[in-house]
Structure 1
């Protein structure tokens, strides 16, 4: 593992992800083996960059060191730097937490590690792809996640204000198709006992999912927006619905149970094989009385091709539950190949 000072760092800073905080001139840690990567993650410090050499890294990769807004920690590498977790193994705790001799099987796990930037590398052949727990302000940019047993990227335990952009997710749910989401925002209310670390609710709020390619063969929803989350942005993504399994109600590109999301300028297609009901759906699970789940979301400028199979591009359920904060579908959305049409609710101009 070679460490070098970032003298003359200007080229790196100029290519930092837009909107990401830029830290102080710090240290670059070059790694080329799994053991070196484990060591680098364990010793990561604000402002530091861990740089992966090309190659496959097999092991348990957990980051538990926080960056800061002024000096985030960066893990970066080329697309042919590939993280693989051959687990899981050991006895799992009642709620997922690192340690105790248990290997989660996650390709990369950030646990209480806010302000990281993950750029360029690949995660594959793991139980889950990239999992963020209690890790706010994380930027994932240009990462490729594929061939994982369950979900591809998961913002969990109030991992708020994160960004997933310019990335690819494909071939998820290889073992549990109904749990093979491409991107998972928050947690189901039934799991808040473990993952609800803010007032009993998983508030993975204000996550932005932009400019990604998700699919084909994402077995569950391409993006599953869970109850209790709010204020996110889903924009400019491409959804390929080939291979959607239909298991565990997985039959759409995006299922929105959160509130006040903006869903705009995405392009979705569906072609066999697979099971497909609607392009976008809302649902309103009951949790706490103060939460209007599945309400106040806005769709505009989305282009949908349902392949002659799906009913609506955007299906809004239980409108009576969102009277105080209705979902809004704008006329700028378009659809082809639908058996029933654009949406089941009145369209708003614009």
Structure 2
């Protein structure tokens, strides 16, 4: 079925059954919400549209607080395909959602991140999206006070930080596992282009193209950051003005350590020192926690080492 406005789109979503395809006609839509909807592997529930079908909660970027472009919660076997999401606090948010696809969207102009997979969202595919101009600093809640902060402008964000300023000291565990992040193009975001948080495991970050040249928050050090376990980070092309191309961080949650058994291979890193002086192509805070392949490459000006001294690349 084809829908032409926000009300008809959300009504169609609420009535969707396995195999339903909802096409967004060209035009402007408010927030779309998918709650407790379940397709099957053979009959997915699909929401699709061309680039000129634009989900736009706010008319401009002056006060983008309180609305998510597309929220998918407690659902499975959902596909989002092709349309544009812009002018939102968060672009697309998967929450407690599995086996779903966020494919070939254009996500831009958000006050926080572009695409999220959180609160136990596992086995999802985030692929071939164009993500740009996140973290536009329109006000972030921290301890009940709204203030400007670009730390939350990730391109793609998996899991939840156990040190997140917005939920301390009672951040809930978030095992968002086995998510596949591939073929995305991410430019001009104010935090990491891709970040996988502690308590997430077994994801694939493959063949993404990242270009970060704009101003970042001072607490952001790398284009890609992994704090989870068992990720394969392979074949990504990174051009960044930050200290590091890829950063792996070990951290402790309760009595459990995270940030181990990740593999980083065949990534091509270019560091420009446009924002911070480049230090290393790859940095990890515990030198033997993960495997870093000798097939990773680095180009930088001025020249800096591929890895920190505590890390030895492996054939």
User: Does TM, normalized by the shorter one, top 0.5?
Assistant: yes
The reply to whether residue 285 of structure 1 matches residue 256 of structure 2 is no
Residue in 2 aligned with 1:333? 296
Residues paired across the two proteins, number: 289
Q: Out of 336, 340, 343, which is 2:307 matched to?
A: 343
Alignment partners' CA distance in 1, 2:19 and 2:190: 37
Alignment-derived partner of residue 297 in structure 1: 262
Aligned counterparts of 1:253 and 1:220: Cα–Cα separation in 2: 8
Task: Give 3-state SS (helix, strand or coil) of 1:292's partner.
Answer: strand
Secondary structure of the structure 2 residue equivalent to 1:314: strand
In the superposition, the TM-score normalised over structure 1's length comes to: 0.79
Task: Tell me, yes or no, if structure 1 residue 207 matches structure 2 residue 179.
Answer: yes
Contact 1:260/1:295 (<8 A) preserved:
yes
Aligned counterpart for 1:76 among listed residues 48, 53, 59: 48
Structure with the largest fraction of helix: 1
1:96-150 CA distance string (max 9 Å, x none): xxxxxxx940000001111101110110001110001001111111111000110
SS of the aligned residue for 2:257 comes to coil
User: In the TM superposition, what whole-angstrom CA distance separates every residue of 1:76-105 from its partner, at most 9, and x where no partner exists?
Assistant: 011111101139xxxxxxxxxxxxxxx940
Q: Is the Cα–Cα contact under 8 Å of residues 136 and 159 in structure 1 kept in the other structure?
A: yes
Deviation at 1:35, TM superposition (A): 1.4
Matches within 5 A, 1:246-261: 246-247=217-218, 249-261=219-231
Residue in structure 1 matching 2:284, options 316, 321, 341: 316
SS of structure 1 residue aligned to 2:244: coil
| Change in CA separation of 1:157 and 1:46 when aligned onto 2, cut-off 3 Å | same
Q: Where do residues 35-50 of structure 1 align in structure 2 (5 Å cutoff)?
A: 35-50=7-22
What is the distance in 1 between the residues matched to 2:16 and 2:119? 22
Q: Give 2:142's aligned residue.
A: none
Secondary structure at 2:12's aligned position in 1? Answer: helix
Shift in alpha-carbon separation, 1:220–1:139, aligned structure 2, 3 A? same
What CA deviation, in whole Å up to 9, does each residue of 1:286-307 have, x standing for no partner? 1032x43111111111001101
- Indicate the structure with greater strand content: 2
Aligned position for 1:160:
122
> 2:312 & 2:9 partners in 1: Cα distance?
53
Query: Which residue among 204, 208, 222 is the counterpart of 1:233?
Result: 204
State the match for 1:60 in structure 2.
31
CA distance in 1, matches of 2:170, 2:111: 21
Whose radius of gyration is greater, 1 or 2?
A: 1
CA deviation vs aligned residue, 1:220-245 (integer Å, no higher than 9, x gap) = 00011100001000010000011151
TM alignment of 1:162-201, pairs within 5 A? 162-175=124-137, 176-190=149-163, 191=167, 196=172, 201=173
Matched, 1:223 2:187: no
Cα-Cα RMSD? 1.8
Structure 1 runs (4+) deviating above 3 angstroms are 190-196
String of CA shifts for 1:256-286, please: whole Å, max 9, x gaps.
Answer: 1111110111111125xxxx11111111221
User: What is the TM-score of this pair, normalised by structure 2?
Assistant: 0.87
Change over 3 Å in CA distance of 1:266–1:109 after alignment to 2: same
